[in-house]
Chain A
Amino acid sequence: MLSLQHISKYYQTGGNKTFVLNDLSLDIDQGEFVSIMGPSGSGKSTLLNIIGMLDEPTSGYHYFMDQPVHQLKEKQRSALYKQYIGFVFQAYHLIDELTVLENIETPLIYQNIKGAERKALVADMLDRFNIVGKKDLFPAQLSGGQQQLVGIARALIGKPKLLLADEPTGNLNSKQGEEIMELFKKINKEDGVTIIQVTHSEKNAEYGSRIINLLDGRIESTTTL
């Protein structure tokens, strides 16, 4: 599904190159649940952003669903992204001015899906996440766990093949975190959504099927569970 080959990302500071990712190669198959771990500054988030096409590598080859992403134009990349990828953030990043329902609906609007169909899809999703009663609330009226739930619902509404999560439990307490991880596991198993998460927590990492440890922009070790 996803293949990174010799990916490097560096910044030019003075005469030196500061590497964030250094000649990194990685393959991920359909249906995997991958946890990326590593100390601060090891390049976890950058790697995730490159996979999510929010960021571009300085060099290397990037294939996603058999498409050479590194050769695609902005527009094609955006289309690919819209169709296959969902994103979950540590800080939830819900849009404050929109209600829960509208937040979840937004990706569908950008996919030009008709109103009636949108309503049905969103209703299903609210139902599935048990947040029907909260649909008209604004993000500020929800707890962190609930906000993240909405964030995940929003990421899943477009039926993505790949879900990217950047420390999804980072701002939550352990109980809320556990619930979110259980949810991830369920999504991975039942819907067959490939998940890649960045995490600091050993415990959360173990929900995945594979743990990749990064250090200084390289893969230090890979553990398959």
Chain B
Amino acid sequence: MLKNYIKTAWRNLWKGRVFNIMNIIGLSVAVACCIMLFLTVYYEFSYDKFHANLDKIHQFYFTKNGAEKVEKATSMPAPLTPAVKAEYQDIKYITRMSNGGTVVRYGDKQLEESIHFVDPDFLKMFTFPVVKGNTDAPLKDLNDVVLTEFAATAIFGKTDPIGKSVELNYSGEPKTFVVSAVVKDFPPNSSIGFDVLLRFENTPTYQANMKSWDHHDHSVFVQLNDNVEPAAFESRLQNFVKKTFKTTIADMKRDGARPDAQGNVYTLNLLPFADNHFDTELVGLEGNSVSKIYVLALLAIGIFILVIACINFVNLSVARAFTRAREVGVRKTLGAGKWQLLTQFWVETLLVCLFALVLGIIMANFALPGFKATFRSQVSMSMLLQPIQLVVIIGLFVLITIIAGLYPALLMMRYKTVMVLKGSVNTVKPGKVRNILLVTQFSLSTLLIVCTLITWQQINYFKNKPLGYSKDEVVSIPVGNSVNGARALELFRNQLNGQPGVVAISGAYDNMGNGKDGSTRTSIIGFTYKGHDVRTNIQGVSYDYAKTMGIQMIDGRDFSREFATDSNAIVVNEKMAAQLGRKNVVGTYVAMDEKHPQLVVGVMKNFHFRSLRTEIEPLTLVLSGYEMNYIFVKVRPQNLSQTFNMIEQKWKQTFPNAEFQGSWINENTERQYKAEQRLSTIFISGAIIAIIISCIGLLAISFMIMVQRTKEIGIRKVLGANIAGLVLLLSRDFLKLVLLAAVIAFPIAWWLMNQWLQSFVYRIDIQWWIFALAAFIAVFIAFITVSFQSIKAALANPVRSLRSE
């Protein structure tokens, strides 16, 4: 019986191959997209799931309910951890964690590796199992070092690393450590990533800060005892906070802090580590957090495309059903039961879907490298073979075949056998269901078009908004770990001095935008000034910073070598000046550090030193006390690429051991909006695929309709209708549906994009013409699609169409 079904199914599919190929193409493209998108979504949601104690691990963060805003910070003071651990029984394990980079030396081998400085509890909380060496207490001694398998192989090759001594240089002077254990490599979906683990006590500033409650510079993770509720623990922590941070709380209250619901202005809170990957609100979390919106957008687009393709499938099957009504009738007279017929059609659907699935998987395989590069996705096809994915795929597959195959089959079964056999199937009703499905398809497509247009507009706005400094003619060069920044700056300054094309050279603690080194630094200082709390970003700079960056001074001057006292001077931006609350701040002293009041020598015009997602904040430039991590070179606008090459060459000559990672600042600022750019790429690809699949469906349906209306067209032509009129007549019904779809999509699109735009401080307004343009695009594409058939139908010779009736 099944063999027979498959045979008939195959012949039927072959007979309707034009339709079926359309069907299969649409469906397989959708399958390919869905595989990639859903795997990415799955991957993002699988982050950190490999930790056995994931549910019980939390990260500490402080919440400051200030007068104007609520600030959350994950950095903790060093004495906090021992103090909290001693005071609370709720804590099973607790670890501090701070990150850094190091040069590892073993024999004559020298490698750059990343370090995590942690407490011994770290390896008990997180699932990084020891595969070799001391399994009980790998970080017992201060000079113990734990490596990942990957790092161990890189350093030691095939030699057994346990017990070997290595030299680590992470603070300027090399220290010797003994390898105590090797841990298993962690999967790529881990927020915490490291090569080397050292005891926290080895951090370069530990001795200086071990008793300081004011210096917040590392993260703290806790694992609570099994029966402890995080919320209850949080409220118990409040006693400790009130006791320990008495002065902070008093200062905040003085400055008009707004207490939260429990009446606290300063609290210590817990962030579940399970939420770590999707938390984009807190700064300074481990790993690269991803906005949940981004992941959900992927999921939504995947579902949209799948729905659109399934609708096609149903519509195409229904269209084909008309031509197969007779067969159903005959089979009924031959004694076919309802279920036998349904099974037959289901088998056909199954075959088509199977084709599409296989083709889709093949397509996905080919498209995956490009997809991974574009969307920074870590997925691989082998992920499909995991049990959960297999169950989901098979389940989804069967569900789709049932929905898409059974509905048209049921429709065919409804035809009266007698009527069918007489050849008078005139069940050519426009089909409410078909129209609803078409409208759904085009609503989704229009929605994606609007999203595309708006994200594109916003990105463009980012790119073109003046930032208040010169970004097109400045090269930013990360200095790197191997050279001392200040010395490097001096050396390079001398090298470039007098070079044609170079206008000015300076250096700074923090980069502009995201450089090729990928790091960003934030340094914020809070102090009391004339009885109120002042907070400012601090940027350590070298001479000529304003000149190099093209920052305008509105009062006073930039740092100058002519004033020896400038080492204790500051330059502030307008925001900071406003905070100081004086008309002429130039010439006044500000005591950021109680012992050394600093002279304000200049006020800069506000500029966007951070991304356009945030408001411009108060900024203070200082000349001393900060590493010069970046060198900036301003060049003349002529021969930009030539000058860039010259700078690169000079760099390599001057620092043969340091990698040149220089880039134009405009590249750096664009890199800040990578997430938005990715989102926009996703929307564009999604919209294009959705439109194409929708159009395949529209093409097939219009073809069916034209066949059904051949006689009408013939009669109209005989009565004197012209071609243009006929094309319009035939296309009008479809265009109405597409327009309706667009109108339905508008409010949803507006709401969605408005939500998205809210996350930017500097954003475009959604304009009405975006919607008009989206509707026009949808209608235009639909019209082109339909006209293929309608023009053909209108041009046909009426004599033939009428004779055939």
Which A residues contact B (CB, under 8 angstroms)?
Answer: 45, 49, 52, 54-55, 75, 78, 81-82, 87, 89, 91, 93-98, 102, 106-107, 109-112, 154, 158
Contact = CB atoms under 8 A, between A and B. Distances in A.
Given A54-B417, A97-B11, A98-B8, A111 B330 contact: no
B418 A49 contact: yes
B15 interface: yes
B754 to A, nearest CB: 54
Interface string B409-428: 00000000110011100000
Contact of A106 (B12, B15, B334): B334
Interface string B314-358: 000000000000110111111111001000000000000000000
B8 A110 contact: no
Contacts of B422: 45
Nearest to B329: A93
B689 to A, nearest CB: 33
Contact of A95 (B331, B340, B417, B421): B331
B657 interface: no
A45 B419 CA distance: 11
A54 B333 contact: yes
Q: Which of B1, B326, B418 has the most CB of A within 10 A?
A: B418
A110 B343 CA distance: 12
A40 to B, nearest CB: 13
A110 B336 contact: yes
Given A98-B11, A110-B331, A112-B1, 12 more contacts: A49-B418, A54-B332, A75-B337, A89-B421, A91-B423, A93-B329, A97-B327, A107-B334, A109-B1, A109-B4, A110-B337, A158-B335
Q: Could you tell me the dominant secondary structure of chain B's interface residues?
A: helix
A182 B243 CA distance: 113
Contacts of B331: 95, 106, 110
B298 to A, nearest CB: 42
Contacts, number: 57
Contacts of B329: 93
7 contacts: A45-B422, A49-B418, A97-B12, A102-B8, A110-B336, A110-B340, A112-B1
Contact of A154 (B8, B12, B334, B336): B334
Contact of B327 (A52, A75, A95): A95
A95 B332 CA distance: 12
A54 B418 contact: yes
Nearest to B5: A109
Interface of B: 1, 4, 7-8, 11-12, 15, 326-327, 329-337, 340, 417-418, 421-423
A52 B422 CA distance: 15
Contacts of B333: 52, 54, 87, 93
Contacts of B12: 97
Contacts of A89: 421
B1 A93 contact: no
Nearest to A75: B337
A93 B330 contact: yes
A158 B336 CA distance: 13
Nearest to B334: A107
B418 to A, nearest CB: 5
Contacts of A78: 335, 337
B336 A93 contact: no
Contacts of B327: 95-97
Given A95-B327, A97-B12, A97-B15, A110 B421 contact: no
Contact of B335 (A49, A95, A98, A110): A110
Contacts of B340: 110
B541 to A, nearest CB: 81
A21 to B, nearest CB: 14
A55 B334 contact: no
Q: Which of A87, A109, A111 has the most CB of B within 10 A?
A: A109
A154 B4 CA distance: 16
A103 to B, nearest CB: 9
Contacts of A96: 15, 327
Nearest to A48: B418
B41 to A, nearest CB: 42
Contacts of B421: 54, 89, 91, 93
A97 B334 contact: no
A109 B330 CA distance: 14
Q: Which of A52, A96, A111 has the most CB of B within 10 A?
A: A96
Q: Which of B8, B332, B335, B421 has the most CB of A within 10 A?
A: B335
A87 B4 CA distance: 22
Nearest to B8: A97
B335 A82 contact: yes
B669 to A, nearest CB: 64
A106 B327 CA distance: 12
Contacts of B326: 93
Nearest to B9: A97
B335 A81 contact: yes
A98 B423 CA distance: 20
B334 A110 contact: yes
A54 B15 CA distance: 28
Contacts of A97: 8, 11-12, 15, 327
